[in-house]
């Protein structure tokens, strides 16, 4: 009897919230409030409404979270190939938050999306795997070059991934300033005396300052020679100290700690 009464009270509540959520005459505050009221509801009607609302920029954050919370993987995977880039971006973020192994390949593919927002959200999705099971995908991304290299490599540094040094040594030999800077940072944090000659050669090159190729608006310019000198100092300090390599981050490290909504 108690279960039947609880069901009778719950169904009208969800039904009312769904009506409010779908009411285009309501303002977005009212519709998002209704969306929160539907959180946890996995009825076909609610799931369909959430998937359709991913295309509405005012509702997509709540709708995406609702799909994740109800485990609606089919809808989120479908959204990952939506024509709307903002929909693909939301889907990538939510799939990553679910941290399921079967989403690693779709998220890795999404990293190569033509839209930088989608690509960066796909990387953020990979970063959210707390067991570091996405490390293999992030290693591939770190070697892609360009905007995405630093996003992936910074996480691998934080995770103390054993391949950081090998990746850094490959990046430092490239022509793109952004890739070089990422490589210098990785070597400065994990390298050894064998890397000093290469770094010293770069430290003498007072070439024009580079932005790092990050692609997010106007970024402060960074000197490759200055970064190389800092990396040299880090390696030399480590050689006289027992402190573990990556733990002694120094000024070139960026701490990246994902804090996904649960």
pLDDT tens-digit map of 209-219: 544 444 444 44
Residue 252 has pLDDT above 70, yes or no: no
pLDDT, tens digit, 9 for 90 and up, residues 75-120 = 999 999 999 999 999 999 999 999 999 999 999 999 999 999 999 9
Q: What is the pLDDT of residue 142?
A: 96
Instruction: Return mean pLDDT, the chain.
Output: 85
Architecture of the domain whose range is 1-133: Alpha Horseshoe (1.25)
Average pLDDT score over residue span 146-158:
92
Average pLDDT score over residue span 21-48:
95
pTM of the model: 0.79
Residue 221 has pLDDT above 90, yes or no: no
Domain residue spans of the chain:
1-133, 135-262
Distance CA 25, CA 22 (A): 9
Residue 10 has pLDDT above 50, yes or no: no
Average pLDDT score over residue span 162-169:
97
Residue 11 has pLDDT above 70, yes or no: no
Q: What is the pLDDT of residue 52?
A: 97
Q: Which residues contact 235 (CB under 8 A, 6 or more apart)?
A: 187, 188, 191, 192, 193, 195, 196, 199
Q: What is the pLDDT of residue 223?
A: 86
Q: What is the pLDDT of residue 243?
A: 52
């Amino acid at each position: 009897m108690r279960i039947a009464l609880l069901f009778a009270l719950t169904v009208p509540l969800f039904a009312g919230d769904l009506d409010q959520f779908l009411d285009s005459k309501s303002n977005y505050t009212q519709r998002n409030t209704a969306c929160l009221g539907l959180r946890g509801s996995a009825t076909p009607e609610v799931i369909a409404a959430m998937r359709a609302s991913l295309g509405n920029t005012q509702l997509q954050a709540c709708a995406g979270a609702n799909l994740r919370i109800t485990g609606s993987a089919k809808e989120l995977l479908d959204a990952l190939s939506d024509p709307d880039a903002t929909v693909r971006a939301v889907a990538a973020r939510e799939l990553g938050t679910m941290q399921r192994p079967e989403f690693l390949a779709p998220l890795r593919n999404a990293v190569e999306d033509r839209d930088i927002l989608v690509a960066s959200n796909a990387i953020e999705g990979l970063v959210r795997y707390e067991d570091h099971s996405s490390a293999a995908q992030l290693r591939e991304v770190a070697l892609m070059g360009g905007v995405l290299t630093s996003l992936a490599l910074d996480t691998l540094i934080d995770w103390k991934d054993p391949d950081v040094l090998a990746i850094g040594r490959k990046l430092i030999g490239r022509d793109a300033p952004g890739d070089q800077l990422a490589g210098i940072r990785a070597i400065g944090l994990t390298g050894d005396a064998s890397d000093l000659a290469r770094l010293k050669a770069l430290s003498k090159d007072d070439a024009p300052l580079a932005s790092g190729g990050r692609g997010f608006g106007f970024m402060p310019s960074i000197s490759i020679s200055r970064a190389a000198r800092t990396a040299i100092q880090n390696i030399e300090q480590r050689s006289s100290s027992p402190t573990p390599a990556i733990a002694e981050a120094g000024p070139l490290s960026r701490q990246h700690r994902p804090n996904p909504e649960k």
